[in-house]
Structures are given as structure tokens and as C-alpha cells.
Amino acid sequence: MSRPALPLNDEDMLLIRHILDIAKRSMQSYKPLYSAFLDERQLSVCEAALKSERAADFVMLGGYEQAQRRVIAFGEGCENEWELPFKALVFNYPEGRELSHRDFLGSLMALGIKRELLGDILVGKGRAAVFVMNAAVPLVKQMTKVGSCGVKVTEDFSEADIPEQQYDEIRSTVASLRLDAVVSTAFGLSRDKAAELIRSKGVLHNRVMTFSPSDRAEEGDVFSARGFGKAQLFEVGGQSRKDRIFITVRKFR
């Protein structure tokens, strides 16, 4: 098996073998098959492996366009709504109560539901949408409380349940559009520390893991680092009198 060009641990290799096996079985059976929910790093690792192996065509589905956690789907018809291996369940609760992502995740995992069975958790006012693999749907639908708050679980998910992304806008100047310069601005790090973060832990750059501080960033690019969050190079402006480049970064909350 050839490897994606990034450092892999034993867990990554097990995941890659599992995903390639799903791809193979889908091609052999001519049936749509799916992975469990994967986080952004796992998706990056698997995407690189699938492209390297020239495996079956695939798509990544999370229930809505901006989803961070997604399943990898293989086979003809895999995007059909009636074939999807997950559903969006909505938790309805009094608008006066404040519940967080952590509250929902904790209550769900307390039922013995593994993280890979859960996609994104979108918390709004009086409603929260959770993407749940079909195997766990019956258990989740029986829930009547999240923490001490009473809830009613329904299947009436709509686009209105997708919250508008909140962000802080950071305006600065950089010497160049190297990735380490933009990461430095977004996460409040020195240039040297940003470069070390990229080299040692990697940064997801447009959903692709990179360990190269010298990668070029462009307007619209999205990047994230574990423990630091997610940001977008929203705008690239002109140059200052000292030939530095004006940039605007949106750091997502």
C-alpha cells in the first residue's frame, strides 16, 4: 500500500486499510457503502490514500455544505437521501435554557454512543441539530433530557437549523502569503512558533494536511490546527509603503 505524503501513526494506517476495504467492497458489490463519521484530519488522511491508490470514486457527506465531520461514501446512488447512513435529529428545548455543544456530546456519549456515530452538532436557540448514524438513531430518539434540561427529539431538520458562522475579524500585514505568516496572524503566534506548529503537528489547509510552513495561502483559503481553532484568509489587499501585504483573517468562534 502506498502512503499519503504525511506522517502517519498506527491508528491512521488502520483507518486507511478500513476505508480502502470499504471502497473495494463497494466496487465488487456495486452497492453504495459508507464509512462512519470522520473528523477533518481523518478525512484528509483517507482522501490522500484513496487518491494515491486510485480507488473508487467517492464523496464526503455531512448533511450540509459546511459540515466538518463527514462520512466517506462510495458507489452509485450513495448521495441519494434514502440511502444515506445517517439522519439529522433535532433536539427541541425551552429557548430560555442555554445548552452547549459539550452538553449534547456528553449526554450522547453517556448513552454509550461512540463519537464516530455522531456528526456535527449544531446548537441554536431552543433547537439543536445532531447528525446521527442510523444504527444509533433509535436510542437517540428516546432521549428526554440533556443534562437537567428536558428535550423532545424530532426529525424536522431544515436549513434554518444551520447557525450562521460567528467569527472575529483580524486585520494585519504580512511580509508574504506563506502559510506560517497567515497562521501567525490568525492564531496570535510568533512567525517562528507558527512555523514550528505546522512542521510538528500539521495544519489543515483547505481540508488537506500540510507540514510545510512555506505553502502559499490565497484569498478564501481555510485552515485549522488542533487546539487553535479554524480561520479563513478572507481578504488580501494591497501593499504598505514597506511592501507588506494587507490581509483580513476571520477567526471562527
Q: In angstroms, what CA-CA distances link 78 with 29, 58, 96, 155?
A: 13, 9, 40, 21
Q: What is the per-residue pLDDT across 9-57, written as a single tens digit (0 to 9) for each?
A: 889 999 999 999 999 999 999 999 999 999 999 999 999 999 888 877 8
218 to 19, 32, 124, 174, 237: CA distances (angstroms): 31, 36, 32, 13, 11
List every span in the chain annotated with CATH 3.30.1370.160. 10-83
Stated as kind and residue range, the H or E segment containing 8 is none
Q: How far apart are CA 235 and CA 225, in angstroms?
A: 20
For the domain bounded by 86-161, which CATH number is listed? 3.30.70.330
When the candidates are 1.20.1600.10, 3.30.1370.160, 3.40.50.620, 3.40.50.1220, the CATH number that belongs to 10-83 is 3.30.1370.160
Distance CA 197, CA 183 (A): 9
Top-tier CATH class for 167-252:
alpha beta
pTM of this prediction?
Answer: 0.81
What is the distance between the alpha carbons of residues 187 and 193, in angstroms, rounded to a whole number?
10
In the chain, which residues fall in CATH 3.30.70.330?
Answer: 86-161
Question: Angle 119-120-123 (CA atoms, 0-180°, nearest 5)?
Answer: 140
Q: How confident is the model at residue 6 (pLDDT cuts 50, 70, 90)?
A: low
Is a pLDDT exceeding 80 seen at residue 242? yes
For the chain, residues classed under CATH 3.10.290.10 are 167-252
Through-space distance between the first and last CA atoms of the chain, rounded to whole angstroms? 39
